[in-house]
Amino acid sequence: MPPQIRILDDPETLAEAAAARCEEILRRAVATAGTAHLALAGGRTPRALYRRLARRGGIDWRRVHVWFGDERAVPFDDPRSNYRMARETLLEHVPVPPAQVHPMRARPPCLRDDAEAYAATLCALAPLSALGVPCLDLVLLGLGADGHVASLFPGTRALAERDDPVAAVDEPGIEPPRLTLTLPVLDHARHLLLLVAGEEKAAVVRRALAEAPRGEPLPVQRLAPRGTLEWFLDAAAAAGVPREGA
């Protein structure tokens, strides 16, 4: 299925539209399966979305499992922690049972053990494909200016991981080290929402969506989703993307 691209006027409108779409997907998953599995993005872009999601009344959070797409190897109270950001903007404002929130522990020098432990919990609680890959209902992603999604950075080993659902990202140039979901898990999600805002992302968005492929594909271009992929862009990030009818 080709990606769907939605261009919203500004970050606030983007957050509102993405919140409505998340609510719709989570409601449908709960209605269908009784439980929904959601993976959160970190970084700056999703904060406004999480604040809006916390205020929407249509999600039965008691039936949602909350996972993380990636995490930095910092304590959970560190300002760089994706879990801390999600807790402050969303999780402490909704009635999700604590046992259904699954922060990623990333503690060097045990990063590989932490990756294995997270993968084991994910595989135990989420539905699995015939090949044993976790199938999450909704995975939220951001996009780095270098084209990274989750913590799948250009040129890193984690980007090439095809077997393990969770990988350690501990290589020169990545500071602090991280844990990340891998491409097979992202590709098996029923819905991927990619949120991108700000003029500093316009060049990477243009390269990913509007330019002829050149050189090594960006991490975001390595996505091969079995489900839907929806891009939510604000006008600044979408500056180089041709508009329909333009």
Ligand X SMILES: O=C1O[C@H](COP(=O)(O)O)[C@@H](O)[C@H](O)[C@H]1O
Distance CA 48, CA 27 (A): 20
CB nearer ligand X, residue 64 or residue 104? 104
**Residue 31: CB minimum distance to ligand X, A:** 28
CB nearer ligand X, residue 22 or residue 30? 22
Under 8 Å between Cβ of 182 and 133: no
- Tokens representing 124 are 């135990």
Under 8 Å between Cβ of 112 and 168: yes
CB nearer ligand X, residue 143 or residue 168? 143
**Residue 51: CB minimum distance to ligand X, A:** 15
Three-state DSSP at 159 gives helix
**Residue 104: CB minimum distance to ligand X, A:** 10
Under 8 Å between Cβ of 190 and 33: no
Residue 10 CB neighbour total at 10 angstroms: 11
CB nearer ligand X, residue 25 or residue 141? 141
CB nearer ligand X, residue 30 or residue 70? 70
Question: What residue has token string 């399966």?
Answer: 33
Using alpha carbons only, how large is the chain's radius of gyration in Å?
17
**Residue 81: CB minimum distance to ligand X, A:** 10
List CB contacts of 55: < 8 A, sequence separation 6 or more.
93
Alpha helices in the chain (DSSP H): 11-33, 47-55, 82-89, 111-125, 183-188, 202-209
Burial 28-44 (b: 16+ CB within 10 A, else e): ebbeeeebbbbbbbbee
**Residue 246: CB minimum distance to ligand X, A:** 26
**Residue 216: CB minimum distance to ligand X, A:** 19
Under 8 Å between Cβ of 183 and 159: yes
CB nearer ligand X, residue 134 or residue 142? 142
CB nearer ligand X, residue 71 or residue 137? 71
Note the residues at the interface with ligand X (CB under 6 A). Answer: 41-45, 69-70, 82, 141-144, 150-151
**Residue 62: CB minimum distance to ligand X, A:** 26
